[in-house]
A and B are shown apart, each in its own frame.
Chain A
Amino acid sequence: SITGASRAIQKLTRVRVVDNSALGNTPYHRPPKCIHVYNKTGVGKVGDKILLAIKGEKKKALIVGHKMPGPTMTPRFDSNNVVLIEDNGNPVGTRIKTPIPYILRQREGEFSKVLAIARNFV
């Protein structure tokens, strides 16, 4: 059963890993869940870093899209999308097929490597 989106991404939300990393794409009997949001409030929006529990391991990730409607003119996705990331900001995967919002380009310094592997922008 799936609950609707009330806040964006917080602890225990199931997320969808969007890049082509091995960790994100190999099937596991439990979906990847968020365990911590690196934010003053516990709610993560687009461009926030979170801690995921995947396949029994902890991994940091970057939020690239959520189901909750945001400011007007920004896209709202049909699933909570997330890109796996290392501690220094390097993405784990090599390609991101799903569309990424242009807002992430505002913080080009932190996310330049993630934006470099992204293919489509919305």
Chain B
Amino acid sequence: CRISSDGKPAKFQPPPKPVIIDKQKQREEKRFLSPEFIPPRGRIDPLKLFLERKDMIQRRKVFNIPEFYVGHILAVTTADPYANNKTNRFVGICIQRGGKGLGATFVLRNVIEDQGVEICYELYSPRIQAIEVLKLEKRLDDNLMYLRDALPEYSTFDMNMKPVSHLDHEEIPVNKLQVRMKPKPWSKRWERPKYNVKGIKFELPEGKMREAQKWSQPWLEFDMMREYDTSKIEEKIWKEVSEELKK
């Protein structure tokens, strides 16, 4: 019982209100719409896109496609008539996600016995039996094709890797790894600003880097004809998709 300096009892201070962190609400706020739902630019009949989205949602109800970005390490088991056990398991890092609608693909890369292997899987193919995310990790780029010209240690992943646990409400960590490359020539000139690659540690001389900047097109980001604002379309599609999936 607190006694103030006057001798009278102190004014009643109510206890501080408890702050409730509702994790379910946080999860709902974190929206993720898979990039293949976003319609491509161009004159395409919205009915075709609507029917494709219906089929995609149907497939997602039956088979869980987890949320993943480029840079995640996935393990995919497919049905293969020519493999023993009829299933084929492949572990790899996702280097690219392409295609829209039902033809959406993602490319997994791994180095097995000093041989680099890449497999392009179709997300909605009925041959895929399971997709597990082994490690959640975003990278600095959207497209990790430069891993083909990087040292093989950056693409090697153990086939029997254990899944690294990740809490639901935490944000996906961004790995700011700067990859070291094999000596030139590369399959593409990654130092050129066209590719806008941020995840490579260029060990080229200053002269070469300046020469590469000659091909920069600084007017491209201000080009109004290339603008494609997808925020409103995304919201509409997200509402549609989340309603259908809850049913």
Contacts and interface: CB of A to CB of B under 8 A. Distances in A.
A99 B185 CA distance: 26
Given A106-B82, A122-B90, A78 B116 contact: yes
B79 to A, nearest CB: 10
A76 B83 contact: no
Contacts, number: 63
Given A72-B105, A73-B78, A105-B83, A120 B112 contact: yes
Interface stretch (B65-73, B119-127, B135-143, B216-224): B119-127
A75 B118 contact: yes
A102 B82 contact: yes
A97 interface: yes
Contacts of B113: 97-99, 120
Contact of B125 (A73, A79, A99): A73
A76 B122 contact: no
Interface of A: 1-2, 4, 65, 69, 72-79, 81, 97-99, 102-106, 120-122
Given A72-B121, A97-B113, A99-B115, 10 more contacts: A2-B185, A4-B187, A73-B127, A76-B119, A78-B115, A79-B116, A98-B115, A102-B83, A103-B82, A121-B88
